Every structure is written in structure tokens, then in C-alpha cells.
Structure 1
Amino acid sequence: MTRTFAEPDSLEDIDRLCIQLFDNWCERRSVLPLAWLMHAWPILKAAPLAMTRLLNSLHELREFHPDALGEEDHQVIEQVLAINLSGNAGPERSFR
């Protein structure tokens, strides 16, 4: 199921999932994934460009450095990417 950014809890869900990634990577001292996440997060407001930057950053991290991520990391990133941006990324745009 793909949710759109227009749904009220989408930004909070993305932030919660990013906090989970941040905490896990800090605990494991995973510098590379942290650098990719910190490039685009935290997001201070619901700006579509900022959200696109975060989604692109997580997509590229997963694509270019899959070995730096654990199975749980891949699942959490997939959950973030499943929250689609209404009006920015059409259904034809896939982060896979």
C-alpha cells in the first residue's frame, strides 16, 4: 500500500522511521548510512522539495551501499519510500 504525503500522519511517520534509522546507525556507529541520512534529514517543515531530497537520499543509499545496511535497515527504508509524495512523485515513479 502506498500512502500519500497529503495524509495527516505521513510526515510524522517519516520522521519516526528516520529517528529509528538514526538511533540504530548511531548505536552501531554506521558512519556511511548516517552521512546519507543527515544529508537530507531532519525536515523542519512539510516542503515537497525537502521530502523529495530525503527520499532520493535513502533510495541512493540503498542502491549504492546495500552492504552498509542491515536487513532491518532495508525494511525501514522501504517503509519510508512507500510513503509517496502527493503531487511530486507520480505513481509511475518508483524508488526500486
Structure 2
Amino acid sequence: MIRHLVLFKLNDGVSRDEPRVVAGAKAFEELGAQVPEVEFWECGWNVSDRPIAYDFAINSAVADRAALQRYLDHPAHQAGVGQWREFATWVIADYEF
């Protein structure tokens, strides 16, 4: 199995309640059910106010590297990434477990 973790940081001046951010979060909330390769999916807004904290996170799992690539290439994933690219940056980690 591969764990796929993503941490998003909203760009300066962008708030969670902006319509485009709300739409982006909704896209990712629905993404796990749209991609057959996803075996585990959870995401949500950070509740910590620490200055080093990111704003939104995805924690997911797929069977193997091939499944991860199919997930990354999936049109629903690409559409969600396209939305977030407009207002955030992110870091990822993919590891086998």
C-alpha cells in the first residue's frame, strides 16, 4: 500500500470562505469516491493555529505505485488540482506501508 499525504497552504490574502476555496475543498471531499484506485480517503481543514501549520490536508491510500499514477492522472484529480493551483501551494509525501 502507498499512503499519499498532501498539505495545502492558502496563498497570502486567501481565506477559507472564498467561493473558489469552498469549491476546491468540496472537489477534494468528493474526490475519494470518484477514483476507483483510492482505498482510503479523508481530508479536512486544519484546526491548529500554530504558525507552521498548513491549512488543508488529504490523507489517502492506494494499492501500489501504478494505482497512485492512475489516481494522479484521473480527470477528477486533475480538475481538483487545477482549482487549488489558483489559490494555494502544497507539499506531498508518498510512502509505502
TM-score (norm 2): 0.43
Q: Which has the higher contact order (CA 8 A, sep 6+)?
A: 2
Select the structure that is richer in helix.
Answer: 1
**Highest CA radius of gyration, 1 or 2?**
2
Select the structure that is richer in strand.
Answer: 2
